[in-house]
Amino acid sequence: MLRLEGLTKVYPTGDKALTNVTLDIPDGEVVALIGPSGAGKSTLIRCINRLVQPTSGKAILDGTNITSLGSGGLRRMRRRMGMIFQEYALVERLTVMENVLSGRLGYVGFWRSYFRKFPQSDVDEAYRLLDRVGLLEMADKRADALSGGQRQRVGIARALIQDPALLLVDEPTASLDPKTSRQIMRLIRELCQERGLAAIINIHDVKLAQMFVQRVIGLTKGVVQFDGPPDTLTEEVLTRIYGEEDWKETIRKVEEEEEAA
Amino acid sequence: MSATLDARIGQQWRKPPLIQRPWLRWVLLIGGVVYFILAMASMEVNWSRVYEGLDRGWQFVLAFTNPDFTSRATDIREGLIESAIMAIAATVVGIALSIPIALGAARNIAPLPVYLFCRGIVALSRALNEIIIAILLVAIFGFGPLAGFMTLAFASIGFMSKLLAEDIEDLDRSQAEAVRATGARWFQWINYGVQPQVMPRLIGLSMYRLDINFRESAVLGLVGAGGIGATLNTAFDRYEFDTAAAILLIIIAVVMMLEYLSGIIRGRMQ
């Protein structure tokens, strides 16, 4: 269970990226975080695993306040939070297997990781996850030899091998075609169900979000504007989050493929 | 059609000039030409001395048509081996020392005090010319390849650290961030998130530095720091231009070979 209490981030430039964000996300809940570019979505998920240092407030995962941890405690806590990135963020010159196993870095010592001598249980789990995301044959290919959708699957496997309690997902479909986007979202949702994982997914495509999540949070200029189930996301709410526009085509569950906005 | 568009239709379009203000543009251009003419005029050339020198220069050039590899073969071989050992050892030691310094000199990795310290080492190493260091080290350690080796290692540190640090500063942050997000330790982060990104550059620079070190070893011999340069210096002192030509040809051949080799290696590393 993740709890955010009054999380605030002011950048040194004076930009207020987050203002007093308070949220509860129970185990196993998949949440979409929507909002215009620059609303603070990326900052919010990065404040949770402290890739960005929050200015004030608390982020509490299973009873531990992450914002007050020292560097050792933070490393141990990061193991429990798998992160999936926009543009995949795989280490391009490492193999698929090395990328997946890098999710275990928080658990193994330096020399083991340096010589790529991971425990057999980690190697087995990496193979299992690669099989689960359909990339077992690609294990020894270099990451830059893969297509976008394949890379994102490797990114998902890397996050899951951490055995996390929470997934932080930063615009997973931003550079994928509409079909692959759905497959990736479906995969994330299924894996969260299988493992009882909570997830926060930053996403621009409102329709796609509605299809795959149980709860939507709308963020505007660092403030939570909306928090509710996806079917309560009306045109009026979208106007509140994004500003004036014709939203008829953006919401509702439609069957045809449509280019991501 | 709007009024402002009407005004523009039919107008010629030109690329905006690099320097916006016309007077500054002309001052710089005319100033540059005037400076060039004055500079050329200020060079004093003693043409009669040049005429005498031409003959000696021609002798030197002629020697290249008839290089003498044999009469000083032992000296040349020993000099070459010494140079090769100097260059390889200096490159290896230089790289080993420059990697931690490069990490410290990359602003996106090192905290400010470490950064300033490492940049200081880089600046010191780059500010002092090889010849000056070699003269100092020859004074300390005496004639021979030890002084040359230490000179080249010191110079390699500045060169490698600076260029490697710049490559580290240019790395793709998201890849490094992703590794950090797994809970990796600092060294693991460097090993998985940073090293793969800078490896091709590191190997390319190492090959390049090896060939620089070999070339430099020829010059360092002139101030007594051993290597093929010492052999070359002796040949010049004895006016054995044919032997000197042979040595220079060998140096050119070795450098070209290293160049070719590094091209192949860099091509394979992507």
The mean per-residue pLDDT over the stretch A81-109 comes to 93
Beta-ladder partners of A168: A83, A200
Q: Is residue B14 in some structural domain?
A: no
The Cα A160–Cα A194 span in angstroms is 12
The Cα A180–Cα B239 span in angstroms is 76
Whether residue B152 contacts residue B82, with contact meaning beta carbons closer than 8 Å, is answered with no
pLDDT digits (tens, 9 = 90+) for B135-149: 999 999 988 889 999
For chains A and B, count residue pairs whose Cβ atoms are closer than 8 Å. Answer: 84
Q: Is residue B201 in some structural domain?
A: yes
- The pLDDT assigned to A145 comes to 93
pTM for this predicted structure: 0.81
Tokens coding B267 = 């091509």
Inspect the interface and report whether the beta carbons of A104 and B182 lie closer than 8 Å.
yes
Q: What are phi and psi of A141, to 5 degrees?
A: -75, 155
Nearest to B183 among A85, A105, A168 (CB): A105
Tokens coding A218 = 């709308």
Answer yes or no: is pLDDT of A259 > 60.
no
CATH at B207: 1.10.3720.10
Place of tokens 């940073």: B194
Q: At what angle do helices B228-237 and B241-268 cross, to 10 degrees?
A: 160
Q: Which domain holds residue B87?
A: 76-268
- The pLDDT assigned to B164 comes to 95
The mean per-residue pLDDT over the stretch B155-183 comes to 94
Which of A41-61 are b and which e, b meaning 16 or more Cβ less than 10 Å from the residue's Cβ? bbbbbbbbbbbbebeebebbb
The model's confidence at residue A258, banded by pLDDT at 50, 70 and 90, is very low
β-strands A30-34, A56-61 pairing: unpaired
- CA distances in angstroms from A130 to A137, A161, A165, A260, B256, listed in the order given: 8, 10, 20, 27, 47
Inspect the interface and report whether the beta carbons of B187 and A110 lie closer than 8 Å.
yes
Answer yes or no: is pLDDT of B66 > 90.
no
pLDDT digits (tens, 9 = 90+) for A177-216: 889 899 999 999 999 999 989 999 999 888 899 989 999 9
- The pLDDT assigned to B57 comes to 83
Tokens coding A189 = 């949702």
Inspect the interface and report whether the beta carbons of A102 and B184 lie closer than 8 Å.
yes
Q: Is residue B57 in some structural domain?
A: no
pLDDT more than 90, % of chain B: 44
The mean per-residue pLDDT over the stretch B44-57 comes to 85
The mean per-residue pLDDT over the stretch A216-240 comes to 89
Q: What are phi and psi of A131, to 5 degrees?
A: -65, -40
Tell me the Ramachandran region of residue A253: left when phi exceeds 0, alpha when psi lies from -120 to 50, beta otherwise: beta
Pick from A248-252, B59-63, B111-115: least confident: A248-252
Instruction: Report the gap between the CA of B193 and the closest CA in chain A (Å).
Output: 7
- The pLDDT assigned to A127 comes to 95
Answer yes or no: is pLDDT of B60 > 80.
no
Q: Is residue B64 in some structural domain?
A: no
The Cα A191–Cα A195 span in angstroms is 6
Inspect the interface and report whether the beta carbons of B178 and A158 lie closer than 8 Å.
yes
CB proximity list for B156: less than 8 A, separation 6 or greater = B90, B91, B93, B94, B95, B98, B209, B213
Name residues 157-176 of chain B within 8 A of A (Cβ): 172, 174-175
Pick from A2-6, A117-121, B143-147, B163-167: least confident: B143-147
In the 3-class helix/strand/coil scheme, how is A180-242 assigned residue by residue?
HHHHHHHHHHHHHHHHCCEEEEECCCHHHHHHHCCEEEEEECCEEEEEECHHHCCHHHHHHHH
The mean per-residue pLDDT over the stretch A47-61 comes to 92
pLDDT more than 70, % of chain B: 99
Which of B69-94 are b and which e, b meaning 16 or more Cβ less than 10 Å from the residue's Cβ? eeebeebbeebbebbbbbbebbbebb
Inspect the interface and report whether the beta carbons of B178 and A51 lie closer than 8 Å.
no
Q: Is residue B94 in some structural domain?
A: yes
| Closest CA relative to residue A15, chosen from A153, A176, A221, A194 | A221
The model's confidence at residue A161, banded by pLDDT at 50, 70 and 90, is very high
More reliable by pLDDT, A105 or A239: A105
The mean per-residue pLDDT over the stretch A72-78 comes to 93
The mean per-residue pLDDT over the stretch A4-21 comes to 90
Nearest to A91 among B181, B185, B196 (CB): B196
Nearest to A51 among B181, B189, B193 (CB): B181
Inspect the interface and report whether the beta carbons of A105 and B188 lie closer than 8 Å.
yes
Count structural domains, chain B.
1
Inspect the interface and report whether the beta carbons of A94 and B192 lie closer than 8 Å.
yes
- The pLDDT assigned to A255 comes to 45
Instruction: Show residues of chain A in contact with B197, CB under 8 Å.
Output: 91-93
Q: Is residue B67 in some structural domain?
A: no
Answer yes or no: is pLDDT of A157 > 90.
yes
Answer yes or no: is pLDDT of B261 > 60.
yes
In the 3-class helix/strand/coil scheme, how is chain A assigned residue by residue?
CEEEEEEEEECCCCCEEEEEEEEEECCCCEEEEECCCCCCHHHHHHHHCCCCCCCEEEEEECCEEHHHCCHHHHHHHHCCEEEECCCCCCCCCCEHHHHHHHHHCCCCCHHHHHCCCCCHHHHHHHHHHHHHCCCHHHCCCEHHHCCHHHHHHHHHHHHHCCCCCEEEEECCCCCCCHHHHHHHHHHHHHHHHHHCCEEEEECCCHHHHHHHCCEEEEEECCEEEEEECHHHCCHHHHHHHHCCCCCCCCCCCCCCCCCCC
pLDDT digits (tens, 9 = 90+) for B181-236: 999 999 999 999 999 999 988 988 998 899 899 888 888 888 888 888 888 888 88
The mean per-residue pLDDT over the stretch A46-61 comes to 92
Instruction: Report the gap between the CA of A82 and the closest CA in chain B (Å).
Output: 7
In chain A, whose CA is at the least distance from the CA of B186?
Answer: A110
β-strands A166-170, A81-84 pairing: parallel
Which of B107-120 are b and which e, b meaning 16 or more Cβ less than 10 Å from the residue's Cβ? eebbeeeebeebbe
Whether residue B149 contacts residue B86, with contact meaning beta carbons closer than 8 Å, is answered with yes
Question: Taking CA B156 as the corner, what is the angle to CA B151 and CA B158, rounded to the nearest 5 degrees?
Answer: 105
Inspect the interface and report whether the beta carbons of A91 and B199 lie closer than 8 Å.
no
The Cα B251–Cα B234 span in angstroms is 16
Interface test with A, best of B108, B182, B187 (most A CBs within 10 A): B182
Interface test with B, best of A80, A87, A93 (most B CBs within 10 A): A93
pLDDT more than 90, % of chain A: 68
Q: Is residue B53 in some structural domain?
A: no
Instruction: Show residues of chain A in contact with B179, CB under 8 Å.
Output: 91, 102, 105
Q: Is residue B107 in some structural domain?
A: yes
The model's confidence at residue B58, banded by pLDDT at 50, 70 and 90, is confident
- The pLDDT assigned to B270 comes to 64
- Tell me whether residue B126 is exposed, middle or buried, using C-beta atoms within 10 angstroms of its C-beta: 0 to 12, 13 to 18, 19 or more: middle
Instruction: Show residues of chain B in contact with A79, CB under 8 Å.
Output: 182-183
Name residues 190-229 of chain B within 8 A of A (Cβ): 191-193, 196-197, 199-200
Mean pLDDT of chain A: 89
